[in-house]
Amino acid sequence: MIHIVPILRDNYCYILEGEDRHCIILDPGQVTPVESYIIQHGLKPVMILNTHHHADHIAGNAELKAKYNIPVIGPKAEQSKIPGMDKGLSEADTVEHSGITLRIIETPGHTKGHIVFHWGDKGALFSGDTLFSMGCGRLLEGSADEMFESLQKLKSLPPETEIYCGHEYTKSNGDFAQTIEPQNTDIQTRLKDVVKLQTNNRPTIPVTLGTELKTNPFLRASDVSAFAAIRKQKDNF
């Protein structure tokens, strides 16, 4: 089972529940709402996973690690930037616990060492700040070439894969996507659905990769030059 826990201003932490109520905490950028959720649902944390080193994804690591005596696991390339990290992961490594098996995909671009987690049995991708609904992460450390290649990897996953991203950016991303493809009716339909969800105070994710392939201008870019141009436009949007 996948639990969505809103934290901070617009972040999402994910709690992956396996057998015997054991759970994996993914990107805990804040302690209180995560701990409250764990207690409320009677879950037993077994590890913390991080997609990248930014504070809004790791700020809860130390306190949760100490409280539950569990390891922190994240991108090997960013081990020096994540305090208290016990194990580093690289491309095609796997994490297995309590019936949960996650495959690691390296997706540099937003940060140099960013990774994402693919839960193949559940058809779920935890994409951190690489892929958002109708958007992608800013190129804070990596290049357009790196991010474009990272997105090509994710495009190759099954279209029914459900995307669980790091932030609730969907409405603003969709508003931008409309400026890139004003005649794209799939974007218009998705935006209407997003407004309904937000009106009811519900997350706009997960969203299928198939929907993203129809509505996300960054996944629809034909080559790296087109991608870079769209990314620059979004930075100034």
**CATH number, position 44:** 3.60.15.10
- Distance CA(225)–CA(3), nearest Å, equals 37
Give the whole-number percent of the chain exceeding pLDDT 70: 100
User: Rounded to a whole number, what is the distance in angstroms from the first to the last CA of the chain?
Assistant: 36
97: annotated active-site residue: no
Check 3, 20, 22, 54 and give the catalytic one: 54
* Cut 0.95: pTM above it: yes
Show the domain range for 74. 2-235
Is 145 one of the annotated active-site residues of the chain?
Answer: no
- Please confirm, yes or no, whether 22 is among the known catalytic residues: no
Contact 112, 78 (CB under 8 A): yes
Whether 57 sits among the annotated catalytic residues: the reply is: yes
What value does the mean pLDDT take over residues 127-140? 98
**How many distinct structural domains can be found in the chain?**
1
Locate 139 and state its tokens: 């190129």
129 is catalytic: yes
Q: What is the pLDDT of residue 186?
A: 98
* Token pair belonging to 127: 């994409």
> Which residues 6+ apart lie within 8 Å of 133 measured at CB?
163, 165, 169, 170, 173, 174, 204, 205, 207, 212, 216
